[in-house]
Structure formats: C-alpha cells, structure tokens
Amino acid sequence: MSINLKDVEFQSIDWETLTWSNLLNVGLDTLSGDWFNAAFGLIQGINLNFIFNVNNNGFLPVYIPDLYYDILINDIRIGRGNSNIDTTIYPGETKEIISFQNIQKNSFSPAINSIVSTQGIMEIKVRGTAYFKIFGMNIPIPFESSKQISIYDEVRNKINSEIQKNQPQNDGWVSTTAKNPLENVLNSITTELFGAEDLELSLSGQTIVDSTYKVTPKSYSHIYFTLECTANIKGGFIANALLGNDIVVFILNEENFKKFKEGQNASTHYKSNKVESGAFDVTLVPGEYYIIISNEHSMFSTKTVQLQAASTCS
C-alpha cells in the first residue's frame, strides 16, 4: 500500500467583512510598502481540497477506514486533519480521495510570518499514519507528502475588487474636501497591488538612469553621473505613495552635493517643487553630477519613484 498527496486545490478564502474603514486601515498599514502583510490580517480562514492517491500494489484487497495526519505550512505545524475513506481497495487499484480542509486563522497564525515573507507561497505538507485492515489486523502505513500553492493573486484581486466596490460616495458621511484624499489612498493601494503606470519617455542620447527607487521618509536617494562634454540633460519622474505622492528632485554638481550632505545651502542646476511628477531639460558643462530624489519633507510616507534621464553632447 502507498499513500501520497497528489494535489492541493485552493478553493476560497474566508474574509472579514471588508468595509471602507478596514480597507483604509490596510492603506495606512501599507506605508512600508508591505501591503500583503496588512491584507493578510483580514483573512479568517483558507479553504483547500487535499487530493490523496491510495494505491494497493499488493496481492490482497484491503480495507482502509480513514486517514489522520498532521498539516504543516512552510514546515510549521498548524494542526491535524482527517479523511474518512471507509473503502476497500483491490490489488492493482488506485483510489483518489478528496478531503476538504477549512484552516482557520487561529490554526494557521503560527505560519503567518512565513506566508507573508514568501509573498503568499504555502508549502503544504501532510504527515501521518494510515491503518488498513487485513485478516483482522491493523497494519500501519506511514506517509508524508507535500505540494506548493500560492494565495498571492487571490488576496491581491480580492482587495482590488473591494476597493472598486467601496469607493466612497458623497452620501453625507464623508465630506467633499475629505473625499479626494481618501480616494487617493484607495487608488494608491491599487497602484501598490498592480503597479503604477510606467514612465515611458522617448529620450535620445546616452542613458544616465532608467530605474525605480523606494525612498523612505526623511531620506533621499542619489544617482551619480559624469559628463565628458557639454551636454543637454533631459529626463522626468513619477512618484507614487499611499499618503501623498509628492517628491522633490534636483540636480547638483560635486561641490554642491558635498554642501547638501553637510546641511549647507547648495546651488542647484534644477530643482522641482514638491510634486507628483515632473520633467527637466538643462545644459551642463563637463564634470561630476548627482540627481537627488528627496523625500526628506515626509514624516510617514515611502515614495516609489520612477526616474529616467539621458544626456546628449552639444
């Protein structure tokens, strides 16, 4: 006799009632960029089908009443499961047994950190001993099998669906002045889930930068580049965040970058206001330069900034 876990089918997730209020809380908890951790807190249960293959490769029919097994997620034991088989399996026969498992939050909570750290990947392992009856004796069959599933897309799509359904209406409970910022939070969550619109500039010349940066509150990122000729520098940027999309971008030469780092007044070749997006077009002489993406004005919000720039010798 042999028993193995042929497959694990994801069925559904049991959610808390998803309201505007707790969706907003997801947004506020997602300032770190880790939306999945915040969303996972709204899950009450995960429903799975365990599909076992039970094979009789012997010479006599055997009767198996049931299976009992430990369930592990990412090698963390989260409880016990059982499958009522109550069947006789004949020589050369393989029977497929489907066992529904509802794993509640209080059971899988020890594995939450692991599931979040793997972005929804769950290595489901079952480990136990089945007993089959033959000639009045109970014969043990130890078994252990594992399968991998992911619930990332299911969580992401559910949150996005609820965002669309729960967009606040001007029904009296939210003021017109408050409505736009709240909508911005929801739209920003959607951006975090599915990504922002790509910055696509048709820039000619030598690429200086074409990257995306995460800039934490009270900090900045810098991009160093050199010019061997007098050159025209063109570029642009788009910032996204859950609370406030504004960012400051400026260009400094080597001398003024040192002043900037020391907290002194520095002259810039370009400096934006606190804006969501912008473009620059400056001419620079040969030398060493830095593009600064500054989020130093923000107390809470991490900004995701797409930046593109290129140089063309004059």
pTM for the structure as a whole: 0.55
Give the pLDDT of residue 276: 84
Give the pLDDT of residue 255: 95
Lowest mean pLDDT segment, chosen from 22-26, 201-205, 235-239: 22-26
At residue 5 the predicted structure's pLDDT band, cuts being 50, 70 and 90, is confident
**Following DSSP, what letter does each residue of 128-155 receive, concatenated?**
EEEEEEETTEEEEEEEEEEEEEE-HHHH
Give the pLDDT of residue 189: 56
Q: On the CB side of 295, how many CA atoms lie within 13 Å of its CA?
A: 26
- Contact, 254 vs 289, CB < 8 A? yes
- Domains of the chain from N-terminus onward: 2-158 (2.60.40.10), 206-313 (2.60.120.680)
- pLDDT by residue (tens digit) across 46-90? 999 999 998 888 888 888 888 889 999 999 999 998 888 888 889
- Contact, 90 vs 60, CB < 8 A? no
Report the alpha-carbon distance of residue 176 to residue 192 in Å, rounded.
25
At residue 2 the predicted structure's pLDDT band, cuts being 50, 70 and 90, is confident
